[in-house]
Structure 1
């Protein structure tokens, strides 16, 4: 890949990744506010605001970060499965997506709070925990990007996995 194109993809990858951290942080703030609020209308509104953030931010940013990251891995000496830190970043991003798909349910929380009903506190804190896990995974991926541990993935008796 030409250097100019590579730098462009790196910029896209970094912007998408940083924006994804910001989007998840916004969800953490909204979810925590909804969990701590004593006002059912505020709680309901906070949960309703989360879906547009997820669909306008989280999903496209995750896909951009995933696509650009795999492209960079496939076209560089780092590879996708040559170094633990690159493979780790891939696994972490897939885990962030999985948590978002299977554990985070802002629409369900909004429906549960409609009409002034309150949601069980345990369920609310479970949503905060899911988002907290996403933040930790994204921060870990960022740390791996900066420190780039040099340890390579090796298959028993066959050298490097390409």
Structure 2
């Protein structure tokens, strides 16, 4: 890949990845506020806002980060499965996507709080934990990008 194109893909990858961290952090804040409040209307409004963030931000940003990351891995000297840190970043991003798909359910939470109904605390905090896990995985991937451990895969 030409240097100018590679740098453009790198910028797209970094912007999408950083924006994804911000989007997930916003979901953590909304979900924590919904779990801590005694106001059922506020909890319901927070849960209703979350799908907009997911569909307008989380899904496109994670796919852009995934596609640009794979492109960079396949076209750079780092390779996709040549170094542990690159492979780990790929696994972490796929795990973030899977947690979002299979464990995070803002629409279900919004439906559960419809009409002021209370949601069990374990379910509320399970949603916060899923998002917290995503934040930790994204921060780990960011740290790997900065430090780039030199160990290679066989």
Return the alpha-carbon distance in structure 2 between the equivalents of residues 41 and 75 of structure 1. Answer: 50
Match of 2:144 in 1: 144
Match of 1:39 in 2: 39
Superposed, which structure 2 residues align to 1:53-64 within 5 Å? Answer: 53-64=53-64
Match of 1:160 in 2: none
Return the alpha-carbon distance in structure 2 between the equivalents of residues 126 and 116 of structure 1. Answer: 20
Q: Which has the higher helix share?
A: 2
CA RMSD of aligned residues (A): 0.3
Per-residue CA deviations over 1:95-151 (Å, capped at 9, x if unaligned) read 000000000000000000000101000100000000000000000000000000000
Aligned residues, how many?
154
Return the alpha-carbon distance in structure 2 between the equivalents of residues 106 and 33 of structure 1. Answer: 13
After TM superposition, what 4+ stretches of structure 1 lie above 6 angstroms from structure 2?
none
Return the alpha-carbon distance in structure 1 between the equivalents of residues 77 and 131 of structure 2. Answer: 33
Match of 1:158 in 2: none
Return the alpha-carbon distance in structure 2 between the equivalents of residues 116 and 58 of structure 1. Answer: 27
Structure 2, unpaired ranges of 5+ = none
Return the alpha-carbon distance in structure 2 between the equivalents of residues 94 and 2 of structure 1. Answer: 27
TM-score under structure 2 length normalisation: 1.00
Return the alpha-carbon distance in structure 2 between the equivalents of residues 135 and 77 of structure 1. Answer: 28
Return the alpha-carbon distance in structure 2 between the equivalents of residues 146 and 8 of structure 1. Answer: 18
* 1:31, distance to aligned residue in structure 2 (A): 0.1
Paired residue secondary structure (2:138): helix
Which is higher, the Rg of structure 1 or of structure 2? 1
Match of 2:27 in 1: 27
Match of 2:87 in 1: 87
